[in-house]
Protein backbone atom coordinates (compact mmCIF):
# COMPACT_ATOMS: atom_id res chain seq x y z
CA UNK A 1 0.00 0.00 0.00
CA UNK A 2 1.50 3.37 -0.99
CA UNK A 3 2.26 5.84 1.74
CA UNK A 4 0.58 9.19 1.86
CA UNK A 5 2.64 12.21 2.78
CA UNK A 6 1.48 14.87 5.20
CA UNK A 7 2.67 18.19 3.88
CA UNK A 8 2.03 21.91 3.90
CA UNK A 9 0.75 23.82 0.88
CA UNK A 10 3.48 26.15 -0.40
CA UNK A 11 0.85 28.72 -1.46
CA UNK A 12 -1.39 29.05 1.63
CA UNK A 13 0.55 26.93 4.17
CA UNK A 14 -2.47 24.74 5.00
CA UNK A 15 -1.66 21.19 6.05
CA UNK A 16 -2.97 18.43 3.79
CA UNK A 17 -2.26 14.84 2.82
CA UNK A 18 -0.62 14.28 -0.56
CA UNK A 19 -1.56 10.93 -2.09
CA UNK A 20 0.90 10.89 -4.97
CA UNK A 21 1.34 7.15 -4.43
CA UNK A 22 -2.41 6.68 -5.03
CA UNK A 23 -3.00 9.46 -7.53
CA UNK A 24 -6.59 8.40 -8.27
CA UNK A 25 -7.41 8.95 -4.58
CA UNK A 26 -5.61 12.28 -4.39
CA UNK A 27 -7.49 15.56 -4.15
CA UNK A 28 -5.64 16.85 -7.20
CA UNK A 29 -7.03 14.20 -9.54
CA UNK A 30 -10.41 15.93 -9.83
CA UNK A 31 -9.11 19.46 -10.47
CA UNK A 32 -8.66 20.30 -14.15
CA UNK A 33 -5.91 22.79 -14.98
CA UNK A 34 -4.93 24.27 -18.32
CA UNK A 35 -1.35 24.03 -19.49
CA UNK A 36 -0.87 27.71 -18.61
CA UNK A 37 -2.20 27.11 -15.09
CA UNK A 38 0.09 24.11 -14.64
CA UNK A 39 3.07 26.18 -15.80
CA UNK A 40 2.05 28.99 -13.44
CA UNK A 41 2.06 26.58 -10.49
CA UNK A 42 5.41 25.05 -11.49
CA UNK A 43 7.02 28.50 -11.89
CA UNK A 44 5.81 29.78 -8.51
CA UNK A 45 5.84 26.86 -6.07
CA UNK A 46 7.69 23.63 -5.41
CA UNK A 47 5.58 20.63 -4.59
CA UNK A 48 1.87 20.02 -4.48
CA UNK A 49 -0.77 22.62 -3.68
CA UNK A 50 -3.75 21.90 -1.43
CA UNK A 51 -7.18 21.35 -2.99
CA UNK A 52 -8.40 24.89 -2.23
CA UNK A 53 -5.36 26.43 -3.92
CA UNK A 54 -5.66 24.15 -6.94
CA UNK A 55 -9.31 25.16 -7.30
CA UNK A 56 -8.37 28.84 -6.93
CA UNK A 57 -5.79 28.53 -9.72
CA UNK A 58 -8.23 26.55 -11.89
CA UNK A 59 -10.74 29.40 -11.55
CA UNK A 60 -8.20 31.88 -12.95
CA UNK A 61 -9.42 32.09 -16.54
CA UNK A 62 -7.01 34.53 -18.15
CA UNK A 63 -3.24 34.82 -18.01
CA UNK A 64 -3.64 38.25 -16.37
CA UNK A 65 -5.45 36.53 -13.47
CA UNK A 66 -2.47 34.24 -12.89
CA UNK A 67 -0.77 36.34 -10.28
CA UNK A 68 0.08 35.99 -6.63
- Conformational region of residue 5, where left means phi above 0, alpha means psi within -120 to 50, and beta covers everything else: beta
The pLDDT tens digits for 3-57 are 667 889 999 999 988 877 676 667 778 899 998 899 999 999 998 899 999 999 9
Please tell me the pTM assigned to this model: 0.77
Cα separation, 61 vs 9, whole angstroms: 22
**Helix %, strand %, coil % of the chain (to 5):** 45, 10, 45
Q: How many domains would you assign to the chain?
A: 1
CA 35-40-42 angle, to 5 degrees, is 95
Does the structure show a pLDDT above 60 at 1?
no
Q: Which domain holds residue 31?
A: 5-65
Amino acid sequence: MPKHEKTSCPRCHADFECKMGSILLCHCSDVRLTEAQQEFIAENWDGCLCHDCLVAVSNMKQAADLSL
